[in-house]
Amino acid sequence: MAFYGMYMSPLYLILVGPTLLFAAWAQIKVKWAYSHYSQILNSRRMTGAQAAADMLRREGVSDVTIEEVDGWLSDHYDPAAKALRLSPGVYSGQSVAAVGIACHEAGHALQHAGGYAALGIRSLLVPTAKLGSWLAFPLIFVGFWMHVAQLAMVGIILFGAVVVFQIITLPVEFNASSRAKDALQHNGILTRPEEIEGVNSVLNAAAMTYVAATLSAVAQLVYFALILSGNRRRD
Ligand SMILES: [Zn+2]
Protein backbone atom coordinates (compact mmCIF):
# COMPACT_ATOMS: atom_id res chain seq x y z
CA MET A 1 0.00 0.00 0.00
CA ALA A 2 1.34 3.41 -0.91
CA PHE A 3 2.12 5.53 2.11
CA TYR A 4 -0.23 8.37 1.07
CA GLY A 5 -3.13 5.95 1.01
CA MET A 6 -2.61 4.77 4.57
CA TYR A 7 -4.71 7.48 6.18
CA MET A 8 -7.54 7.04 3.70
CA SER A 9 -8.13 3.38 4.32
CA PRO A 10 -11.44 2.24 5.88
CA LEU A 11 -9.42 0.21 8.41
CA TYR A 12 -7.73 3.40 9.63
CA LEU A 13 -11.06 5.21 9.96
CA ILE A 14 -12.64 2.31 11.85
CA LEU A 15 -9.69 1.68 14.16
CA VAL A 16 -8.24 5.13 14.82
CA GLY A 17 -11.16 7.43 13.91
CA PRO A 18 -13.17 6.93 17.12
CA THR A 19 -10.10 7.53 19.31
CA LEU A 20 -9.40 10.82 17.49
CA LEU A 21 -13.00 11.92 18.08
CA PHE A 22 -12.65 10.95 21.75
CA ALA A 23 -9.39 12.96 21.97
CA ALA A 24 -11.05 16.02 20.41
CA TRP A 25 -13.96 15.71 22.83
CA ALA A 26 -11.56 15.44 25.80
CA GLN A 27 -9.73 18.59 24.65
CA ILE A 28 -13.00 20.51 24.41
CA LYS A 29 -14.07 19.24 27.82
CA VAL A 30 -10.84 20.24 29.58
CA LYS A 31 -10.99 23.73 28.05
CA TRP A 32 -14.61 24.11 29.06
CA ALA A 33 -13.96 22.90 32.63
CA TYR A 34 -10.94 25.19 33.04
CA SER A 35 -12.75 28.23 31.62
CA HIS A 36 -15.80 27.59 33.75
CA TYR A 37 -14.07 26.86 37.06
CA SER A 38 -11.49 29.62 36.68
CA GLN A 39 -14.45 32.00 37.05
CA ILE A 40 -15.45 30.49 40.41
CA LEU A 41 -13.40 31.66 43.39
CA ASN A 42 -12.43 29.20 46.11
CA SER A 43 -13.92 30.24 49.46
CA ARG A 44 -10.51 30.65 51.14
CA ARG A 45 -9.41 33.03 48.32
CA MET A 46 -6.12 31.16 48.05
CA THR A 47 -4.04 31.48 44.89
CA GLY A 48 -2.76 28.39 43.10
CA ALA A 49 0.79 29.19 44.21
CA GLN A 50 -0.30 29.50 47.86
CA ALA A 51 -2.28 26.26 47.77
CA ALA A 52 0.65 24.36 46.22
CA ALA A 53 3.11 25.85 48.74
CA ASP A 54 0.77 24.88 51.58
CA MET A 55 0.46 21.31 50.27
CA LEU A 56 4.25 20.91 49.94
CA ARG A 57 4.93 22.44 53.37
CA ARG A 58 2.43 20.11 55.09
CA GLU A 59 4.18 17.13 53.48
CA GLY A 60 7.59 18.40 54.67
CA VAL A 61 8.94 19.19 51.19
CA SER A 62 10.92 22.44 51.34
CA ASP A 63 13.33 22.26 48.37
CA VAL A 64 10.82 22.83 45.55
CA THR A 65 10.47 26.33 44.10
CA ILE A 66 7.21 27.66 42.67
CA GLU A 67 7.58 29.89 39.61
CA GLU A 68 5.26 31.64 37.19
CA VAL A 69 5.59 30.84 33.46
CA ASP A 70 3.90 32.24 30.36
CA GLY A 71 1.24 30.31 28.57
CA TRP A 72 -2.23 28.93 28.90
CA LEU A 73 -2.46 25.61 30.79
CA SER A 74 1.33 25.34 30.47
CA ASP A 75 1.61 24.18 34.09
CA HIS A 76 4.12 21.44 34.86
CA TYR A 77 6.61 20.15 37.38
CA ASP A 78 10.27 20.12 36.32
CA PRO A 79 12.02 17.31 38.26
CA ALA A 80 15.54 18.36 37.14
CA ALA A 81 15.12 21.88 38.53
CA LYS A 82 12.74 20.81 41.34
CA ALA A 83 10.43 23.59 40.22
CA LEU A 84 6.68 23.92 39.93
CA ARG A 85 6.04 26.10 36.89
CA LEU A 86 2.55 27.56 36.96
CA SER A 87 0.79 29.58 34.25
CA PRO A 88 -0.29 33.13 35.25
CA GLY A 89 -3.96 32.22 35.71
CA VAL A 90 -3.05 29.30 37.97
CA TYR A 91 -0.16 31.00 39.80
CA SER A 92 -2.08 34.06 40.97
CA GLY A 93 -5.67 32.98 40.28
CA GLN A 94 -7.89 32.44 43.32
CA SER A 95 -10.26 30.14 41.50
CA VAL A 96 -11.30 26.56 42.08
CA ALA A 97 -9.49 25.60 38.85
CA ALA A 98 -6.26 27.38 39.88
CA VAL A 99 -5.87 25.53 43.20
CA GLY A 100 -6.83 22.22 41.55
CA ILE A 101 -4.18 22.47 38.83
CA ALA A 102 -1.50 23.92 41.14
CA CYS A 103 -1.99 21.10 43.64
CA HIS A 104 -1.94 18.50 40.85
CA GLU A 105 1.55 19.78 39.90
CA ALA A 106 2.51 19.79 43.60
CA GLY A 107 1.36 16.15 43.54
CA HIS A 108 4.08 15.44 40.94
CA ALA A 109 6.66 17.15 43.19
CA LEU A 110 5.55 14.91 46.07
CA GLN A 111 5.81 11.83 43.84
CA HIS A 112 9.37 12.88 43.01
CA ALA A 113 10.27 13.57 46.65
CA GLY A 114 8.76 10.26 47.78
CA GLY A 115 10.34 8.12 45.05
CA TYR A 116 7.00 7.11 43.49
CA ALA A 117 7.89 4.12 41.29
CA ALA A 118 5.81 4.91 38.18
CA LEU A 119 7.38 8.39 37.98
CA GLY A 120 10.86 6.88 38.15
CA ILE A 121 10.08 4.41 35.34
CA ARG A 122 8.56 7.22 33.30
CA SER A 123 11.71 9.34 33.68
CA LEU A 124 13.87 6.41 32.54
CA LEU A 125 11.73 6.07 29.40
CA VAL A 126 11.95 9.76 28.42
CA PRO A 127 15.00 9.47 26.08
CA THR A 128 13.60 6.41 24.24
CA ALA A 129 10.17 8.01 23.94
CA LYS A 130 11.72 11.20 22.56
CA LEU A 131 13.69 9.23 19.98
CA GLY A 132 10.53 7.31 19.11
CA SER A 133 8.40 10.40 18.62
CA TRP A 134 11.08 11.86 16.30
CA LEU A 135 11.84 8.79 14.20
CA ALA A 136 8.88 6.41 14.34
CA PHE A 137 6.62 8.05 11.74
CA PRO A 138 9.36 8.88 9.19
CA LEU A 139 10.64 5.29 9.39
CA ILE A 140 7.15 3.78 9.13
CA PHE A 141 6.21 5.93 6.12
CA VAL A 142 9.48 5.50 4.27
CA GLY A 143 9.46 1.77 5.11
CA PHE A 144 5.98 1.23 3.64
CA TRP A 145 6.56 3.59 0.73
CA MET A 146 9.80 1.93 -0.39
CA HIS A 147 8.57 -1.55 0.58
CA VAL A 148 11.37 -2.08 3.09
CA ALA A 149 9.55 -4.07 5.77
CA GLN A 150 12.53 -4.00 8.16
CA LEU A 151 12.53 -0.20 8.19
CA ALA A 152 8.80 -0.06 8.91
CA MET A 153 9.29 -2.67 11.64
CA VAL A 154 11.95 -0.55 13.39
CA GLY A 155 9.59 2.43 13.18
CA ILE A 156 6.74 0.39 14.68
CA ILE A 157 8.95 -0.82 17.53
CA LEU A 158 10.00 2.78 18.26
CA PHE A 159 6.36 3.83 18.16
CA GLY A 160 5.66 0.98 20.63
CA ALA A 161 8.15 2.63 23.01
CA VAL A 162 6.14 5.86 22.76
CA VAL A 163 2.96 3.90 23.57
CA VAL A 164 4.59 2.29 26.62
CA PHE A 165 5.64 5.78 27.78
CA GLN A 166 2.07 7.03 27.42
CA ILE A 167 0.68 4.04 29.34
CA ILE A 168 3.09 4.53 32.27
CA THR A 169 2.11 8.22 32.29
CA LEU A 170 -1.49 7.32 33.17
CA PRO A 171 -0.94 6.12 36.79
CA VAL A 172 1.42 9.09 37.34
CA GLU A 173 -1.30 11.53 36.27
CA PHE A 174 -4.14 9.83 38.15
CA ASN A 175 -2.03 9.62 41.31
CA ALA A 176 -1.06 13.34 41.17
CA SER A 177 -4.74 14.27 40.81
CA SER A 178 -5.86 12.10 43.70
CA ARG A 179 -3.10 13.61 45.89
CA ALA A 180 -4.37 17.08 44.93
CA LYS A 181 -8.02 16.25 45.68
CA ASP A 182 -7.12 14.74 49.07
CA ALA A 183 -4.84 17.60 50.10
CA LEU A 184 -7.30 20.32 49.07
CA GLN A 185 -9.99 18.77 51.24
CA HIS A 186 -7.79 17.81 54.21
CA ASN A 187 -6.11 21.22 54.28
CA GLY A 188 -9.48 22.95 54.31
CA ILE A 189 -8.94 24.83 51.05
CA LEU A 190 -12.08 23.37 49.48
CA THR A 191 -15.12 23.54 51.69
CA ARG A 192 -18.30 23.86 49.62
CA PRO A 193 -19.50 20.84 47.62
CA GLU A 194 -19.45 22.88 44.39
CA GLU A 195 -15.73 23.64 44.92
CA ILE A 196 -14.94 19.93 45.30
CA GLU A 197 -17.08 19.19 42.26
CA GLY A 198 -15.21 21.90 40.31
CA VAL A 199 -11.76 20.50 41.09
CA ASN A 200 -12.97 16.98 40.23
CA SER A 201 -14.37 18.22 36.95
CA VAL A 202 -11.13 20.04 35.92
CA LEU A 203 -8.75 17.25 36.98
CA ASN A 204 -10.90 14.41 35.60
CA ALA A 205 -11.17 16.22 32.26
CA ALA A 206 -7.39 16.67 32.17
CA ALA A 207 -6.90 12.96 32.94
CA MET A 208 -9.30 12.10 30.10
CA THR A 209 -7.01 13.86 27.59
CA TYR A 210 -4.18 11.50 28.62
CA VAL A 211 -6.46 8.46 28.33
CA ALA A 212 -7.63 9.59 24.88
CA ALA A 213 -4.08 10.21 23.63
CA THR A 214 -3.03 6.76 24.85
CA LEU A 215 -6.00 5.00 23.22
CA SER A 216 -5.27 6.82 19.97
CA ALA A 217 -1.61 5.78 20.06
CA VAL A 218 -2.52 2.14 20.80
CA ALA A 219 -5.01 2.13 17.91
CA GLN A 220 -2.38 3.54 15.53
CA LEU A 221 0.15 0.97 16.70
CA VAL A 222 -2.31 -1.85 16.00
CA TYR A 223 -3.12 -0.32 12.61
CA PHE A 224 0.54 -0.14 11.53
CA ALA A 225 1.18 -3.66 12.79
CA LEU A 226 -1.81 -4.96 10.77
CA ILE A 227 -0.59 -3.24 7.59
CA LEU A 228 2.90 -4.63 8.07
CA SER A 229 1.64 -8.20 8.57
CA GLY A 230 -0.74 -7.78 5.59
CA ASN A 231 2.11 -6.58 3.33
CA ARG A 232 4.27 -9.48 4.48
CA ARG A 233 1.59 -12.03 3.60
CA ARG A 234 1.29 -10.52 0.11
CA ASP A 235 5.06 -10.48 -0.43
ZN1 LIG B 1 0.29 15.95 35.64
pLDDT at position 90 over 90: yes
Q: Concatenated DSSP letters for 115-163?
A: T-HHHHHHHHHHHHHHHHHHHHHHHHHHHHHTT-HHHHHHHHHHHHHHH
Distance 121 CA to ligand 1 centre (A): 15
Told to judge if 195 belongs to the known catalytic residues of this protein, a careful annotator would answer: no
Give the pLDDT confidence score for residue 229 in this predicted structure: 84
* CA neighbours closer than 13 Å in the CB half-sphere of residue 77: 24
Q: Which pLDDT band, with edges at 50, 70 and 90, does 10 fall under?
A: confident
**Model pTM score:** 0.90
Distance 95 CA to ligand 1 centre (A): 19
Cβ-count burial 103-142 (b if 16+ within 10 Å, e if not): bbbbbbbbbbbeebebbeebeebeeebeebeeebbebbbe
Give the pLDDT confidence score for residue 1 in this predicted structure: 47
Distance 223 CA to ligand 1 centre (A): 28
CA dihedral for 120, 124, 126, 129, sign (positive or negative): negative
Strand pairing category for 83-86 and 76-78: antiparallel
Active-site pick, 59, 68, 105, 194:
105
Give the pLDDT confidence score for residue 6 in this predicted structure: 63
